[in-house]
Structures are given as C-alpha cells and as structure tokens.
Amino acid sequence: MRYLGGRLFQALIVLLAMSFVIYGLIGLMPGDPVDLMISADPRMTSEDAARLRAIYGLDQPLADRWAAWLGAALSGDLGWSRLQAQPVLDALTPALGETAVLMGVSLALTIALALPAGIAAARRPHSALDRAVGLLAFLGISTPPFWLALLLIIAFAVHLGILPAGGAGIGGGVLDQLRHLVLPVLALTLAGVGGYVRYVRAAMLETLGRDWIRTARAKGVGERRLLLHHALRPAMVPVITLIGIDFGTLFSGALVVETVFARPGMGRLIYDAILGNDYNLALAALMLATFVTLLGNLLADLGLVLLDRRLRLGEGAP
C-alpha cells in the first residue's frame, strides 16, 4: 500500500506541474481572448482593449493567472467553449466517452492478440513461427499509424465498400455505430499490437528459463498448465507495466485515428480547439488527457500490486 501511496503522490505532482506547463503553453498560442473580441468589433480602441485585459486579469503575472484558473477548475468551473458555444464540461463529456470506447475496445483486442502470439513465439524461440511473429511485430512498429488507417479505408471502404470510411454513425442504431467502430479499432490495434507482442515474448522467454518452470516440468505438470499458470502470471508483471507506460501512446494513437476517421472524440476536440484558438476548451481537454493518462498509469500500478504479492506486503518496487 505504501507503494501505491507513493505512486499516487507522484502522479499528483506530475499533474500539477503539467497544469502549469500546459497553462503556460496555451498562453503562448497566437492572440488572446481580447484579440478575438477586437476582431469581432472593429470600433474597439486600444484603450478599450487594455481596459478589458485588466478586467479579465490578462495583465496579471502567469503564476497568478494559473492559480486563478486552477482554483476555478477545482470548483468545477472550466469556462465557456468559444467554438462549441457551450460550457467546456458539456463539450468534454461526450468526447471523452467516444474516446474511452475506442481506446478500451482497442486495448482489449490488442491484449487478446498479443498474449497468444507472444506466448506461442516464446515457446519455441527461433522457430519459423517465432520468426514470422517477430517480423510482423517489427513491421507493425515501423508503420505510420495514420497510413495504416488510410490503407484500411482504401481496402474496406473504397475497394470493397463494406465499411464506412469515417464518422461515428451518431443518430444511427447501435449496429451502425458498431460498423463505424470497426476500422478505427483495427487501425489503433494494429498500430500498437507489435510492441506488446515483443514484450510478451520477452517476458515469457525470461520466465520460461527460470528454475521453478524446470521444477514444475520435472514434477510432470502439463504443458498447458505450465504455460498458463506457472509462467504467464509472473510474465504479466512487465506486460502490465507496459500497459501503464503505454497509455499516453494509446491516447496519441486515438487522436490520430480519430482525425483520420473524423470521429468526434477527445483527439478531434483537442485538435480543433487548439487550431481554433478555443483556449478554455484546449486547456481543459489537455489537462483531461494528462489526467486520464496518469490514471491509466495508476490503474496499471494497482494491477501490479494485485498480481505481485511482494508489492502488497511493501517489500519495494519490482
């Protein structure tokens, strides 16, 4: 538990630091809210602009503005989205839902593919199967994800015409929405699965070489039980660590996939908010992205603690 407490504290520090960095970066985006008002009202003089900047506190030092924003955000006031003409919170919620579905399904599929492939490759190292799996994983890692998404669109939407090329099917039935989800999930999964396969293989290979595996085999434990019970459990520790570390990459991948497939998720929202000078929305969305990523990290840590008894007893990190 001390381990988890430490991690939680660390995550909070990173979150606080990132909120300052992101606040500062957003401040460096072109223009400011008063510039937008000026462009909307040509009669405004520079004295008016200066007065407005003073009213909104834009002439205050960065740290003061950040503290004011943080205070408001913590009390639930994230401001108003200029582009979407609604409170930031109302704009974020549906987008987060969309992205969570995409990421969740894709992560589940990634693990469902990577575990058997990695285990099969590790069972017979340097066999033809191992080489084939290794080659595919290598190609997967080296392929630009957005290109993969484009290729999927060309194959399934342009040539075969069996799946939609974009959108989320909002307004259609559940079946239609699922149809819209197939290609994005496939693209996100193929982009990430290679790394996981390599990791599972390496972790399994390491555990399969341990003494207790030899002992279990000598005792006459069946191959199936040996792999799934004796070897897989310890091998899952590094794999779960990877899921935690990789959460940010998964989010980045979701952003790309959402852009290519024109899906209304967090990625799309962040992209539009930043390019459309929607400061409030961009700030809140980026903070949410960081928060979700750190939460993913923490959940992976929790998984580790559940899996590794040494951690539960507080005997230090693996």
Instruction: Identify which of residues 278 and 308 has a Cβ nearer to another protein in the complex.
Output: 278
DSSP lists the bridge partners of residue 86 as 81
Dist CA 318 CA 101 (whole Å): 31
CA distance 113 to 300: 19
Residue with tokens 């024109």: 262
Q: To the nearest whole angstrom, how small is the minimum distance from the Cβ of residue 227 to another protein?
A: 28
**187 contacts 119 by C-beta, under 8 angstroms:** no
- Helix spans in the chain (H): 2-27, 33-40, 46-55, 62-74, 88-123, 128-142, 145-152, 174-208, 211-219, 223-225, 232-245, 247-260, 266-275, 279-307, 309-312
Burial class (CB in 10 A: 0-12, 13-18, 19+), 189: buried
Integer-rounded Cα Rg, in Å, for the chain is 24
Give me the residues paired with residue 80 across strands: 87
Nearer to another protein, 44 or 141 (CB): 141
| Location of structure tokens 């507080």 | 314
CB-nearer residue toward another protein: 177 or 252:
252
* Rounded least distance, CB 99 to another protein, Å: 11
Shortest spacing between CB 91 and another protein, in angstroms: 16
Helix (H, G, I), strand (E, B) or coil at 251: helix
* Of 303, 199, 186, 163, nearest in space to 253 by CA: 186
**122-146 burial, b if ≥16 CB within 10 A, otherwise e?**
bbeeeeeebeebbebbeebeeeebe
Using CA atoms, how far apart are residues 193 and 115, in angstroms rounded to an integer? 10
| Residues near another protein, by CB under 8 A | 10, 14, 18, 22, 25-31, 138-139, 141-147, 150-151, 153-154, 158-159, 165, 244-245, 247-249, 251-252, 255-256, 259-260, 267, 270-271, 274-275, 282, 285-286, 289-290, 292-294, 297
Nearer to another protein, 207 or 290 (CB): 290
Residue 260 has a CB neighbour count (10 Å cut-off) of 22
